[in-house]
Amino acid sequence: MSCTTILVGKKATYDGSTMIARNDDGFFEEKKLIVVDPAKQKRKYVSKISHLTIELPKDPLRYTSTPSVSPKRGIWAANGINEANVGMTATETTTSNPLVMGADPYVVYQERKGKKKEVPGGIGEEDIVVLVLPYIRSARQGVERLGKLLEEYGTYESNGIAFNDENEAWWMETIGGHHWIAKRVEDDEYVMMPNQFGIDSFDLDDAFGEKKKHLCSKDLKKFIKDNHLDLNKGKVFNPRYVFGSHSDADHVYNTPRSWFMGRYFNPHTYKWEGEGADFTPQSDDIPWSLKPEKKITVEDIKYVLSSYYQGTEYDPYQKADQVKKGLYRPIGIARTGVMAVLQIRGYMPEKLKGIEWICFGANPFNTVVPLYTQTDRMPKYMSDVTMDVSTDNFYWSSRLLGALADPHFGTCIQIIERYQFAVASQGHQLLNEYDSKMMKSKDYSFINEANEKICEMARKETGDALSKVLHDASAHMICNYSRADK
């Protein structure tokens, strides 16, 4: 799926946690937040898309998941934090090029036809979280487990996957059908990923040596050499040149998103606009990672992943420049199903380390709600979602809010901004309150109470915002009429 991902190292965040986040930009996919009990984790996994059967280990961990409500296309778990406090978001669709695909084609499902037997495909976004997250105890282990699965079964698409634990964040990208590459995010840096093969420097000596910060498929050097893939001319090995795309489409769909994120987090490090700009929305060499000019908060991540190029001439809601408005694919897009910021707080007790900040629907108009992940259930406001539209849950309320506010942006945006601020502020307040309460008492049974209280707050604020936006939208309906109208 077309998505946008951010990873932040622990020295680049406001509190020393690691954070990874991704917009899961599907097809207006209905989503929910649940907890998967190890007893209900199947020992044999069957993929809907590729018809692949995989035997799973016998000792799964409990984990949170944001699966699709409808099972017809598979689970699509998307994001989660497991009981070992490891976070994972998968996957972001990335790009490749004909040289790579000719050397290692995707493993695509082949239907049975006549005497020709059915041939299963590889693994993909539908499957990856379920196959990996319940069985890992560190971010590095996540890369290693998925790497083995890719080498054995292959994949039918090009994907990027993020992992984090309390100390490290890792980014992994698939290469063709069976190959892969992964790099540890520097502690004082953040990473920008907009649907494009991203890693722009890689130490192959480390990957085939000590493996401190670089990992890859075991035959990657030979694969590159045998297929004449290395397009680099200098000493630095740039995987983006070798494995990525180099298309005009990137300049309207992908690179502008990196440009906006870099412009937000590093406004003075580079010149982003005007004559002599270091980077423009169409630059192919925007860095994969940077040291931010200030420490990054959850709200910063939410703001950037909600971006529609506000404050620039590309803002689709502006009334002025009709030539450039809406020119580039926004980060906060209408079809987002779920966005989760997976925060692992290493300074907290084990039961309180994992916080999943969750929101559903179009990010410019929704808000993000924090929930403790070391629990056996999520509040019904998050988990009890059906295909029927209902304001009894956060998913449909968020979708309704966005659909109503969007066509009345000018009059509704103030309501939305106040709503977003209120929920974020009260979310932090309730986390602080329950963090303190549980740390003092060493009684972590309050986690469910805390999550329920946070969801009740979110329900109240969302209902209030929805009521106000509905009133505004009703007042601006085209069929409005009064005998006093002129």
- Transcribe 26-47 into DSSP letters: -SS--B--EEE-GGGS-SEEE-
Who contacts 385 (Cβ-Cβ below 8 Å, separation ≥6)?
Answer: 30, 31, 32, 69, 393, 395, 396
Mean pLDDT value across residues 172-196: 98
pLDDT in tens, 283-317: 999 999 999 999 999 999 999 999 999 999 999 99
How far lies 389's CA from each of 222, 224, 324, in Å? 53, 50, 36
Q: Do 222 and 77 share a structural domain?
A: yes
Structural domain span for residue 407: 388-486
Q: Do 396 and 254 share a structural domain?
A: no
Mean pLDDT value across residues 307-331: 91
229 domain-assigned: yes
Q: Do 327 and 392 share a structural domain?
A: no
Give the per-residue pLDDT at 249.
94
Domain count, the chain: 2
Per-residue pLDDT band for 7 (boundaries 50, 70, 90) equals very high
Per-residue pLDDT band for 323 (boundaries 50, 70, 90) equals confident
Q: What percent of the chain has pLDDT over 70?
A: 99
pLDDT in tens, 418-469: 999 999 999 999 999 999 999 999 999 999 999 999 999 999 999 999 999 9
Is the per-residue pLDDT at 226 higher than 60? yes
Q: Do 115 and 18 share a structural domain?
A: yes
Give the per-residue pLDDT at 320.
76
357 domain-assigned: no
How far lies 85's CA from each of 79, 190, 348, 353, in Å? 13, 20, 11, 7
Angle at 101 between CA 259 and CA 333, to 5 degrees: 35
Catalytic positions: 3
Q: Do 452 and 400 share a structural domain?
A: yes
Chain centre distance of CA 87: 11
Per-residue pLDDT band for 485 (boundaries 50, 70, 90) equals low
How far apart (Å, rounded) are the C-alpha atoms in residues 167 and 18? 7
Whole-model pTM above 0.75? yes
382 domain-assigned: no
- Domain end (from 315, 347, 379): 347
Give the per-residue pLDDT at 139.
98
375 domain-assigned: no
368 domain-assigned: no
Q: Do 135 and 279 share a structural domain?
A: yes
- Domain end (from 296, 330, 347): 347
Q: Do 262 and 397 share a structural domain?
A: no
Angle at 299 between CA 350 and CA 163, to 5 degrees: 45
State the DSSP H helix or E strand holding residue 20, giving kind and residue range, or none if neither.
strand 18-25
How far apart (Å, rounded) are the C-alpha atoms in residues 365 and 312? 19
Q: Do 234 and 127 share a structural domain?
A: yes
Give the per-residue pLDDT at 483.
75
434 domain-assigned: yes
362 domain-assigned: no
Mode of pairing for the β-strands spanning 190-193 and 289-290: antiparallel
**195 touches 3 (CB < 8 A):** yes
Q: Do 392 and 341 share a structural domain?
A: no
Q: Do 441 and 327 share a structural domain?
A: no
298 domain-assigned: yes
Is the per-residue pLDDT at 1 higher than 70? no
Mean pLDDT value across residues 466-476: 97
Q: Do 211 and 135 share a structural domain?
A: yes
Is the per-residue pLDDT at 109 higher than 90? yes
Q: Do 329 and 253 share a structural domain?
A: yes
Give the per-residue pLDDT at 486.
57
- Domain end (from 320, 347, 374): 347
